[in-house]
Amino acid sequence: MTELLERIFLGAGASKAVASILANNCAACERDGSLSHGVFRMPGYVSSIASGWVDPKADPRIEDVGPAMVRVDAMNGFAQPALAAASALLIDKAAATGAAILAIRNSHHFSALWPDIEPFAERGLLAISAVNSFACAVPYGASKPVFGTNPIAYAAPRLGHPPLVADLATSSMANGDVQIAARECRALPRGYAVDGDGNPTTDPQVVLDSGALLTFGGHKGSAISLLIELLGAALTGGQFSYEVDWSAYPGAQTPHTGQFLILLDPDRGRGIEFAARTEQLIEQMFFAGLSRLPGSRRYERRAETMRDGIPIDAQELGRLERMAHDGAWQA
């Protein structure tokens, strides 16, 4: 699947490095059952690239601005290659100082956040990341959208287990899930969204056309979404979600904003092992009746697909193969 997706990205005009990173990312989402960020997203990637909105050959520019901070100008490219370019420096800084901040601007993030941070936790680091997106969520107490879906994710090392990874939109749901609901003609849950006049709606197409999501958890979720705008845009130097204006680029779907990431060296300065303590907390949660950790469905799905392969229906596969062929033909 990675090879097929890579051909699509290359055919659409991506550089070899960008195509490889995005193909691996998208295939990993499909593998783990993160379907709203899997192959479902490929037409959006291709359409955004074709529109001229995002540069699929961009070469990110790294700015080493302090012992604990790295800025990256993604040069209007995707965020994942910018993160990949800065990763080694960021890890070095966290190891040297105890913590390191990555502030990516001028970037497009069109995937889940968990693939960005899981690798850091596999190295024993605690990672937290957030991106803003495009205005589609109404601040608590307001009537029009200002915030993006503004996901936040964290990954923590566990002793003897793959990392604990949580990834959550601070909107009531993810945009990808609204798109899937619209495609499948499924109503949204009540209390999740409003129409263009600020009235409640459960129609996903109305939300996509003229409405907006609410933030999760009332004023508290809204306060966290606000923090993510500050981190993803005001801190990075990127655009706020409401500043994204792709009207001159029909077909554009990727939010052109920013990404914030913090790495913490959790054992620095002492002998206690963070990963072992995390394990004690998780044991206590199961003791208290929990049956699933955040992210556990992804790991279960991953085990299944690594054993049995990634299921994909013939129609979807045909669509992807046509995209690879058309792009190659165009190129």
Which 78-117 residues touch a copy of itself, going by CB under 8 A? 96-101
Binders of a copy of itself among residues 14 to 33 (CB under 8 A) are none
- Give SS3 for 77: strand
Question: What's the token pair of residue 292?
Answer: 């699933």
Per CB under 8 A, 298 contacts a copy of itself: no
Among 25-33, 77-85, 246-254, 257-265, the segment contacting a copy of itself (CB under 8 A)? 257-265
User: How many chain residues are in contact with a copy of itself, going by CB under 8 A?
Assistant: 72
Question: What's the token pair of residue 279?
Answer: 């394990």
Per CB under 8 A, 156 contacts a copy of itself: yes
Task: State the catalytic residue, choosing from 20, 34, 36, 171.
Answer: 36
Which residue number, 6 or 267, has a Cβ lying nearer to a copy of itself? 267
Task: State the catalytic residue, choosing from 55, 167, 177, 267.
Answer: 177
Question: What's the token pair of residue 211?
Answer: 């409405």
Minimum distance, C-beta of residue 150 to a copy of itself, in the bound complex (Å): 12
SS3 annotation, the chain: CHHHHHHHHHHHCCCHHHHHHHHHHHHHHHHCCCHHHCHHHHHHHHHHHHCCCCCCCCCCEEEEEECCEEEEEEEEEEHHHHHHHHHHHHHHHHHHHCEEEEEEEEEECCCCCHHHHHHHHHCCCEEEEEECCCCCEECCCCCCCCECCCCEEEEEEECCEEEEEEEECCECCCHHHHHHHHHCCCCCCCCCEECCCCCEECCHHHHHHCCEEEECCHHHHHHHHHHHHHHHHHHCCCCCHHHCCCCCCCCCCCCEEEEEEEEECCCCCCCCCHHHHHHHHHHHHHHCCCCCCCCHHHHHHHHHHHHHCCCCCHHHHHHHHHHHHHHHHHC
Contact 79, 45 (CB under 8 A): no
Which residue number, 20 or 133, has a Cβ lying nearer to a copy of itself? 133
Which residue number, 44 or 198, has a Cβ lying nearer to a copy of itself? 198
Whether 143 is a known active-site residue: answer no
Among 7-15, 18-26, 141-149, 314-322, the segment contacting a copy of itself (CB under 8 A)? 141-149
Per CB under 8 A, 130 contacts a copy of itself: no
Pattern 57-76, binding to a copy of itself, x per CB under 8 A? ------x-xxxxx-x-----
Whether 108 is a known active-site residue: answer no
Per CB under 8 A, 297 contacts a copy of itself: no
User: Which member of 52, 191, 200, 237 binds a copy of itself (CB under 8 A)?
Assistant: 237
Minimum distance, C-beta of residue 250 to a copy of itself, in the bound complex (Å): 25
Binders of a copy of itself among residues 263 to 292 (CB under 8 A) are 264-266, 268-270, 272, 274, 277-278, 280-281, 284-285, 287-292
Per CB under 8 A, 128 contacts a copy of itself: yes
Per CB under 8 A, 311 contacts a copy of itself: no
Per CB under 8 A, 240 contacts a copy of itself: yes
Which residue number, 65 or 306, has a Cβ lying nearer to a copy of itself? 65
Contact 204, 187 (CB under 8 A): yes
Show which residues are catalytic. Answer: 36-37, 177
